[in-house]
Amino acid sequence: MALFDLPLPELERYVPELDVPADLDEFWSSTLADARTHDLDVRRTPYDARLRLVDVEDLEFSGFGGHRVRAWVTRPAGSASDGRALPAVVEFLGYGGGRGRPQERLAWAAAGYVHVLMDTRGQGSAWGTGGDTPDPAGSGPAVPGFMTRGILDPAEHYYRRLVTDAVRAVEAARALPGVDPARVAVAGISQGGGLALAVGGLVDGLVAVMPDVPFLCHFPRALAITDRDPYGEVVRYLAVHRDHEEQVLRTLSYLDAVHLARRATAPAFFSVALRDMTCPPSTVYAAYHHYGTLGGAEPAKRIEVYPYNDHEGGQAVQVEAQLRWLGDLLA
């Protein structure tokens, strides 16, 4: 894949104007207040993953609408009861994937963190080894996938439910024994990176935000320069529903991770791939440059650039970089 977006020097200066809804804060504060009327009801069940150095728990908590959300918790063996209060990393998954099996993601637990991997409601059948969380809510006419579910009303959109689940996942992580609630970070790749950014703007007191080639960013730009899925789902919807563009863009403006990330206060470590047609570089840089700009002092942030990669980004190289960066930050 050749370079297709702005040249890197222009990306480094790319700070687009945003069309932020005037009632964005009210929309999300009321959404989260409604979610919190349901008891978080954190339930932990030990899971025998045949791992000697890592303890595994099957976690459940109440997300949007009180719907039950699943997650895996992995941690250094014995750390839940030995008096230590460990930092935690809450991770969100890429589009179409589910939490899979706990043996698949052990880096954070092996590095001494409590790792909470949130399942993604309704997803888990496009790649990986499956998911376990249904999405009980419906929507109007939609293109196959998740992007256009409830696309004409932000209150009905799929990502309102999923972002709320992600906020509640942090609350569940902070309630776990052996977790230091003041040292909780969020992370994710692609869709998971977009969720990490959204949570970074909606949850106070996070220690770090690590969005890796994030999706859900700067929708107007993404729809203009790529038709690769998942953004392509919206393009195909509008190709049929030609008179819905204004409503669609209005709905997405409430869910745009760039709009929410402006509220963030935690240090952030981004990554971007310059040949990424799934999450175009300019959309990532829009999130990066607007990140944390609403507060008084802008938080520390950095971005790792992968010039020759498509949406796979840095993969294990980026995970190692995150381990080093977060370790140094906490030290």
Catalytic residue among 55, 135, 165, 276: 276
Say if residue 51 is exposed, middle or buried (CB neighbours under 10 Å; 0-12, 13-18, 19+): middle
CA–CA distance from 122 to each of 5, 39, 161 (Å)?
32, 22, 11
The token pair at 303 is 């971005």
Calpha distance 322→13 (Å, rounded): 24
Is 289 known to be catalytic? no
92's CB contacts (< 8 A; 6+ apart) are: 118, 120, 166, 169, 186, 187, 188, 191, 192, 193, 195, 196, 199
Measure the CA–CA gap between 230 and 260, rounded to whole angstroms: 20
Q: Are 112 and 76 in contact (CB under 8 A)?
A: yes
How many helical (H) and strand (E) elements, i.e. helices and strands, does the chain have? 11, 9
Cis-peptide into 230, omega within 30 deg: yes
- Is 79 an annotated catalytic residue? no
Q: Which two tokens stand for residue 305?
A: 């650039």
> Which residues 6+ apart lie within 8 Å of 74 measured at CB?
54, 55, 56, 102, 105, 106, 108, 109, 114, 115, 117
Contact call for residues 256 and 284 (beta carbons, < 8 A)? no
Q: Out of 55, 119, 165, 190, pick the active-site residue.
A: 190
- Residue 34's nearest CA partner among 181, 169, 159, 168 is 168
In contact, 198 and 187? CB cutoff 8 Å: no
Q: Which residues are catalytic?
A: 190, 276, 311
